[in-house]
Amino acid sequence: MGNFKAVGSRLLQLALVLWAVVTILFLMFRLMPGNPMAAYIDPTFTLEQQQQLMAQFGLDKPLWQQYLIYLGNLLQGNLGQSFRYRVPVGERIFELLPNTLILTFSSLIIAYVFGILAGAYLAWKRGSWVEQAAIPMVLTTRAMPEFWLGMVLLAIFSFSLGWFPAGGTRNPGNEYSGLLDLYTSRDFLAHLALPAATLAIYSQGLPLLLMRSNMLDVMKEDFVTMARIKGLSNWTVVVRHAARNALLPVMTSFAIAVGYQLQGNVVVESVFSWPGLGRELVNAVAASDYPLAQGAFLMIALVVIFMNLLADLLYAFLDPRISHA
Amino acid sequence: MTEPLLSVRDLRVSYQVGRNFVHAVDGASFDVPRGSITGLVGESGCGKTTVARALTRVIAENATISGGQIMFDGKDLAKIPEKEMNALRWRDIAFVPQSAMNSLDPVYTVEYQLGEVLRRRGGMNRKQARARSEELFEMVGIDRGRLADYPHQFSGGMRQRVAIALALALDPKLIIADEPVTALDVIVQRQILDQLKELQTRLGISVILVTHDISVVAYICDRTVVMYAGKVAESGTMHQTLTAPSHPYSMGLRNAFPDLQGAASGVLTPIEGAPPNLANPPAGCRFKPRCPFALDICGSEPPVIDVAPGHPVLCHRAKESASLRIEAAKTETWMAPA
């Protein structure tokens, strides 16, 4: 089957992209000015002590050797030791990754479900006052910076009305037996509400506008006219034919949006003190904790690459013209 | 004579373009007898597709049926409420589009699209729809194994057959085929036309065939309606309109196509000029600016004259058509400016 071959070649591409990302990350941190140990080594250390530490982290070896060791470690799932926390980077990242993923996906799913429905509706109501009023509003949400929107929501719903907590993932003192227990608790969801709302409001414009313009294009297609000549109901024409076809590019944009969102998370996680990968990344760079920053970058890249693969596979599944090509 | 299946009287369809109204169909009248193929002929922009679509009442957003009657099986399609019209669609009046590629939904299998019509419009269950789909594919000569294929997996000719199968699904009384073979090569054109003719005769359906191609009309049509600039110039049996064209436009159209009998007359004579802008049509006869036989009288609205029973012609000089035909056969006639 052509399908397996396509997936196989896609996986090979993925491996190549991953290798490129890993290499760029490695070089980027080595080429940055300053000694990576500068923040770590106390100025009162003797030269000997300093060299000993450098050797301990393998920084005295030539670049190509460091690179090979780095690759070898990566293949074994070893991301190195955090300078700051003195724990394996992997451990730290996997502690934070779920928080970031929950924030990203909950906000994006809300944004896409809303955006797709509202976009289809606005295309249907083309030219009405609803559409005339809605489009500038959507454009406004697209233009608002996330950190600003986050701070406004905080000011209103947290500081002023007191409906939602201001930051973190849970109230101090609350203990949970496991992750599932935590993630389904009222406490956690209340903390999630504002950052997720910020990201959702910021992100819904893309699927909404995309869906709307696709719908407007598809509604002009012959097969939509034919569906009307067939006497099919308005619902069947608009949903089963027009919306179904307009949805294809929107689904692909979801994967790309995940990438953007992870980037946006850096800002929103900082505003809401959300203990996720984005905030950790900022802290790690600020503290010159290179292994941790490198690991966080790598993890974000991994998620983006994986989502792109998923989008390709999904597209092939949704559009028969691709899977049979 | 039995009553025709479809009788269009003084049909008017206009498009709103900015603040202006373009009368794309401006008082068209013609009949479609039961069990016949009627060719609707004319050059691009003469309003033939607009007429075809007006019969289904699925027209462009900026278009309106502004007058006239469309008597179909005792009902006036121009007047009946939308709900009643929708009940007729596809059950009584089906449509074969020009490009089956664009008119089939790319994301569903052909079986789904047949089933959609059979179940949602024909009230069949899944099993009945499946059986009917297989029957329809057999009728149009496609292997039933291909039902599960998507539109893009078919060739152009095959897709047109699928479109015909779709049109036949609910045993309609009338099929409107809008340039059904225009996008195909001549060999496939002939196969599709043969098939259409065979099915039409066997099932006793009426067909309106919209085309710009006189040879298609000559090949399968029983009757011809020649349109020019939103009006019917002439209508009659295929034989009448092709061997004894009585409107100068039909004569010119006849000269502009290769000889149907294959006799090597050699020269094709075009009609100089282009159809008038319908936003601002010329007064009187609309063919006057291009007509080699135009007289002063042609500046006034031409009358409809029956040159033979069932052969009306919209021309001041229709009674002289026999002598005009002799003139029209000469190439020089069309070269000289009128």
> What confidence score (pLDDT) does residue A1 get?
44
B182 touches A: beta carbon within 8 Å:
no
Task: Look at residue B94 and tell me whether its pLDDT is greater than 50.
Answer: yes
Residue-wise pLDDT for A155-210, tens only, equals: 888 787 878 787 777 776 667 677 777 777 777 787 888 888 988 998 899 999 99
**With 80 as the cut, is the pLDDT of residue A297 above it?**
yes
* A231 to B87: CB separation less than 8 angstroms, yes or no: yes
Q: Which of A223, A231, A241 sits opposite B89 (nearest CB)?
A: A231
Using CA atoms of A92, A98, A99, A104 in order, give the dihedral in degrees to the nearest 10: 130
Burial of A170: CB neighbours in 10 Å, binned 0-12, 13-18, 19+: middle
**Pairing mode of beta strands B6-17, B63-72:** antiparallel
Is pLDDT above 50 for B134? yes
Distance CA B172, CA B156 (A): 24
pLDDT band at A313 (very low <50, low <70, confident <90, very high): confident
Minimal Cβ distance to A222: which of B90, B103, B121: B103
Residue with tokens 């390709």, as numbered in its chain: A312
CA distance linking residue B317 with residue B234, whole number of Å:
13
Is 70 exceeded by the pLDDT of residue B222? yes
Q: Does B154 touch chain A (CB under 8 A)?
A: no
pLDDT of residue B41: 93
- Chain A residue numbers with beta carbons less than 8 Å from the beta carbon of B91 are 231
What is the residue-averaged pLDDT of chain A?
Answer: 83
Find the CB nearest B120 among A226, A236, A318.
A236
B 70-129: CB under 8 A from A: 86-91, 95, 97, 99, 102-107, 109, 116-117, 120-121
pLDDT band at B13 (very low <50, low <70, confident <90, very high): very high
| B150–chain A Cβ distance below 8 A for any pair | yes
The residues, ordered by sequence, that sit 6+ positions from B82 with a Cβ below 8 Å of its Cβ are B57
Compare CB distances from A222 to B102, B107, B116 and report the shortest one's residue. Answer: B102
Q: B207: closest CA among B246, B265, B235, B168?
A: B168
Q: What is the pLDDT of residue A7?
A: 75
Confidence of residue B170 (pLDDT cuts 50, 70, 90): very high
Least confident of A53-57, A256-260, A299-303: A53-57
What share of chain B has pLDDT > 70, as a percent? 96
pLDDT confidence bin for B3, thresholds 50/70/90: confident
Question: What's residue A144's pLDDT?
Answer: 87
Q: Taking CA atoms, what residue in A is nearest to B119?
A: A232
Number of neighbouring beta carbons within 10 Å of residue B302: 21
Mean pLDDT over A77-103 rounds to 84
What is the model's pLDDT at position A162? Answer: 76
The pLDDT value given to residue B173? 93
Categorize the per-residue pLDDT at A323 as very low, low, confident or very high, splitting at 50, 70 and 90.
low
Residues of chain A above pLDDT 90, percent: 16
Asked if A230 has any chain B CB less than 8 Å from its own CB, the reply is yes
How distant is the Cα of B197 from the closest Cα of chain A, in angstroms? 22
**pLDDT score at B92:** 93
What per-residue confidence (pLDDT) applies to A116? 93
Give the pLDDT score at B337: 55
Q: Does B185 touch chain A (CB under 8 A)?
A: no
Residue B145 in contact with residue B136, Cβ under 8 Å? no
Considering only the beta carbons, identify the residue of B56, B105, B152 that sits closest to A223: B105
Residue B261 burial class via C-beta count within 10 angstroms: exposed 0-12, middle 13-18, buried 19 and up = exposed
Give the pLDDT confidence score for residue B259 in this predicted structure. 58
Judge whether residue A249 has pLDDT over 80: yes
Higher pLDDT, A116 or A76: A116
Check residue A38 and give its pLDDT. Answer: 66
For residue B104, is pLDDT > 80? yes
Q: By the CB < 8 Å criterion, does A68 face chain B?
A: no
As a whole-number percent, the residues of chain B with pLDDT over 90 amount to: 55
Structure confidence at residue A41 (pLDDT) = 66
Q: How sure is the predictor about B128, in pLDDT bands with cuts at 50, 70 and 90?
A: very high
B25-69 pLDDT, tens digit each:
999 999 999 999 999 998 888 889 999 999 999 998 889 999 899
A269-294 pLDDT tens trace: 888 888 888 888 888 888 777 888 88
Do A172 and A230 form a contact (C-beta atoms < 8 A)?
no
Q: Does B30 contact A at CB distance below 8 Å?
A: no
By Cβ distance, the residue of B105, B121, B152 closest to A241 is: B105
End-to-end, the C-alpha distance of chain B in Å comes to 41
**pLDDT for position A226:** 93
Q: Do the Cβ atoms of B121 and A231 come within 8 Å? A: yes
Going by pLDDT thresholds of 50, 70 and 90, the confidence category of residue B338 is: very low
Is the pLDDT reported for residue B174 higher than 80? yes
For residue B265, the model assigns a pLDDT of 56
Distances (CA, A) of A192 to A12, A47, A186, A276, B200: 37, 48, 10, 12, 66
**B150–A324: do the CB atoms touch at under 8 Å?**
yes
Q: Among A9-18, A79-88, B51-60, name the one with the lowest average pLDDT.
A: A79-88
- For residue A324, the chain B residues in CB contact (below 8 A) are 150, 152-153
Higher pLDDT, B183 or B145: B145
B77 vs A contacts (CB less than 8 Å): none
Tell which wins on pLDDT, B225 or A285: B225
B259 vs B10, residue with greater confidence: B10
Give the residue with greater pLDDT, A61 vs B210. Answer: B210
CB A283, CB A78: distance < 8 Å: no
Does A324 sit within 8 Å of B103, measured CB to CB? no
Strands B75-76 and B174-178 come out as: unpaired
In 10 A of CB B78, how many CB atoms?
22
pLDDT in tens, A230-240: 999 988 999 89
Residue B263: pLDDT band by 50, 70, 90 thresholds?
A: low
